[in-house]
């Protein structure tokens, strides 16, 4: 089933977010029209999924760079030969994994990533799904009064909960992060409601991992409303769930989605590879 006028098959996953793309081999050199159509699908559905793709690091990077410049994470160490490549390995017995709560990627920086491309290198037969939630729908479902109240409000985003001394490094073999003595807090204020630079739609922009407090308010004063917004942001009707297989790739628009990793792979090893794309300052 296709939605819109696309030169490939687009199969929506839910009514709010997500679509599987069929008939595109992303390891190949794609023409400009196909790349433009894929970008349009990303903007329409928030996250697009590909199956049965054979991607080494170079092909993964080549595909990603058709959509923007590669982003370097401030606190996660990339591959020794290429800092833009993040290998996410979950070993049997690990009790925690990266991305285990709802979040958008790296909003603590001044210009958060535009998007992320996650590839299944070695995926177990079941478990380890990723869920996505549309922050367009989250914003649009708020009451007009709450929308108006949040219109010009900013919130502080920080990595103090996910890096540095507060991070429980010994709980899991997650990814290679900076040591405590190397880590310095990264924090920036961003609007609670951001306007997407390409679609012009408004999206809710807070999350449980990094949003600390509203500007000019204490953490205690902010807690109640922030908790409400963060729970509201991933209501079932805004969401989809993607079941991974080896060779699958998910490409999400980080400006209007949240996602969470489900830690239920149990006795299996799981290896994923992530690239991120540079973005701009939320407005």
103, 137, 190, 208: the catalytic one is 103
39, 90, 105, 157: the catalytic one is 105
Closest CA to 133 of 12, 252, 31: 252
Work out whether the CA dihedral 223, 283, 256, 61 comes out positive or negative: negative
Residue 225, H or E segment: helix 219-232
Residue 188 a catalytic site member: no
Residue 60 a catalytic site member: no
Cβ atoms 107, 207 nearer than 8 A: yes
Residue 22 a catalytic site member: no
Residue 255 a catalytic site member: no
- Cα distance between residue 276 and residue 191, in whole Å: 21
- Cα distance between residue 121 and residue 247, in whole Å: 6
Concatenating the DSSP letter of every residue in 161-208 gives: TTSGGGS-GGG-----B--TTT----EEEEESEEE-TTT--EEE---T
Q: Catalytic residue positions?
A: 103, 105, 259, 274
């Amino acid at each position: 089933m296709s939605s819109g006028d696309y030169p490939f098959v687009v199969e929506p996953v839910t009514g709010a977010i997500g679509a599987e793309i069929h008939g595109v081999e992303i390891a190949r050199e794609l023409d400009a029209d196909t790349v433009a159509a894929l970008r349009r699908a990303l903007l329409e559905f928030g996250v697009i999924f590909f199956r049965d793709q054979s991607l080494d690091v170079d092909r993964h990077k080549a595909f990603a760079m058709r959509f923007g410049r590669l982003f370097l994470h401030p606190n996660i160490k990339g591959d020794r030969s290429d800092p833009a490549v993040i290998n996410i390995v979950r070993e049997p017995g690990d009790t925690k994994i990266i991305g285990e709560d709802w979040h958008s990627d790296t909003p603590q920086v001044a210009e958060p990533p535009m998007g992320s491309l996650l590839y299944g290198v070695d995926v177990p037969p079941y478990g380890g799904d990723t869920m996505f939630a549309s922050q367009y729908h989250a914003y649009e479902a708020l009451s007009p009064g709450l929308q108006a109240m949040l219109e010009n409000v900013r919130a502080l985003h920080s990595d103090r909960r996910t890096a540095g001394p507060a991070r429980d490094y010994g709980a899991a073999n997650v990814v290679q992060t900076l040591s405590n003595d190397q880590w310095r807090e990264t924090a920036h204020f961003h609007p609670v409601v951001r306007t997407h630079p390409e679609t012009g739609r408004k999206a809710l922009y807070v999350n449980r991992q990094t949003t600390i407090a509203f500007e000019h308010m204490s953490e205690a004063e902010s807690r109640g409303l922030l908790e409400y917004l963060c729970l509201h942001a991933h209501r079932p009707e805004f969401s989809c769930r993607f079941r991974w297989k080896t060779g699958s790739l998910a490409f999400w628009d980080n400006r209007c989605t949240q996602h969470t990793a489900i830690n239920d792979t149990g006795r299996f090893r799981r290896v994923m590879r992530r690239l991120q794309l540079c973005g701009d300052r939320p407005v």
